[in-house]
Structure 1
């Protein structure tokens, strides 16, 4: 592929993103500042190790940047210790496991079909292959039930309880569940990847004082560059975290991404970001309410975060996903609690409101878009493509 073809492909992707409405709950748009700084000359620099303790020369200036990223993330999450080096949320979780567990230790985590994440013990993931996984499921009301978890902890005596999810639309009682875990000498890992933006805005309880380790991605609701982060208020555990990240799990950090993370932490640490996360919650509730009014079924009748699940019953969600994409709307098919269908064609779709809120969609546009989606699902047609383009043109990603 020559250079001009490569540039053309990037241009096509950029145009596609501008003309597409993104409702994928795991995605968001980084700011131009984050993109620029994460594309800096530090792409060229290898920075294995930690500030003032590198295994390559020429890292003095980068030490300043990494220390800034650490301090900014500590301020953001009220944390005593922070490691901003993990390449992704999955690697952050693996480092947390290395820190707290030995091979074949028991982990208690949310079942994948109840909304858990792949790295929390899915059969094809490293977590399942290395550790002994016990799952807790949602109760008959599709909620995480503290009492059920308490019974499982007493019975199974796991070494680690994971609190966190990939597709759950309610709150977790971190304080209560940490108390339950500690009575049985069980560690707690809180994976806040999907709700980190709300936590640093003060809209959802911060689990830092009720967890041994907190892990997160740095994109999603935090709206930063892709990557991972590990937090703790326990110095002894944190020293082990640092060893687990390097040299335990990875070599050099992605230097340019560390600078991008620093910028995104700084952007999240202001009043405008709080207004933004509040609007995500408003938009999420409006869209879910519209779906419920149109007769659709959600796992619960409310959402406390940026996402929710819609059960399409006997419809082919794989086909629905493709038809919506043809109309310029991206979302993903997803398991519904207690789903009996396969992962390729599960019963539900998952909808997230972070990315369109970044584009400044508000109440009226969200309600309009919700009805577009319902009409497309019900009629299997492509007539909304131009209407979606008009919405996208009115609300560009980058102004």
Structure 2
């Protein structure tokens, strides 16, 4: 019979580790959740941890419309950060960008083909007014063509672990609105598609890496090219901003989108008492007959996230772990050593959750243990000898797809190696003990 060290260690060291954390059978999506969100898909996520607080068809693939432009913003910030562009860089307008910008059935600021605009001007038009011609102009400035920019968008989302998506243009418009400028291989009716969960990942990435996006996404109104004959008033399509029809003072972003195919969509974000949430609603009506529905449903999600959860610290950093006995040390001046957590572990749980049944376990690092499940001296303080694992369950879901959460555990003190005679005695004891077991 083959000896399995890992199985042995788990059995001997973790058999008693049945730590209560969450009530078995309880779900985040239970009676305290808001009533069904009036949208085809909806998602609520804690920004810092990526923990999912509400999920309604969040893996379904749907049209994302102008929420696509968050990807354009991310790449633009990358270019600024790399020094390839500045906010004052002058951008020429191609015939394609000009033609799209003159279509007033779409969201646009009118662009002249005989004029240049700063990156700052075009970015503000994109972020505040979702201007489609301005978006194309920025994409062409960065990559030379919209097609090349779409290739970069695709690479970007793949680098974030997003596997299912369809991206054909930078604006989120249906191809039928692009005057024949279609991504190779796409047809007249193609449109960008992702899931609510994927859009939350996009939002989380841009907020993590370029939080300055909120400085512009939170502007309710601004005049494009103020003081010139081309001046046009831009009203942010995010009507939850201060002074607009669905004002909510904790909301400061992020991006709306509307097409016939996608319906009304909105990736929102709000911050309250030092905590930030990300919400996504997709297909919340058509955006024309019921223009405020996506904001009403977003508000329900945010109320739920801010009011119905509390953060529970399950494991404190630098604490001895309840239930783990000191670990035996072989050939050391001490016979055993205690282990402590190296990090804290917290989750957001519905208020009043009874922490009763769901368990975490100790997974040892085989590298440090002998066949008897002992640590071999010398051992330094702070040596990570394993981890505590909170297994996947219905209450703890994350947008990155993690199925378990872990906390490394380490030795609390050093144990020096014993002297020669102590080691010799241990060897003799092990030798004769082995003989007894053999016969």
Task: Report the structure, 1 or 2, having the larger strand content.
Answer: 2
Task: Report the structure, 1 or 2, having the larger helix content.
Answer: 1
Q: Same fold (TM over 0.5)?
A: no
Query: TM-score interval w.r.t. the shorter chain?
Result: under 0.3
Higher relative contact order (CA 8 A, sep 6+): 1
Please identify the structure whose Cα radius of gyration is greater: 2
Q: Normalized against structure 2, the TM-score is what?
A: 0.23
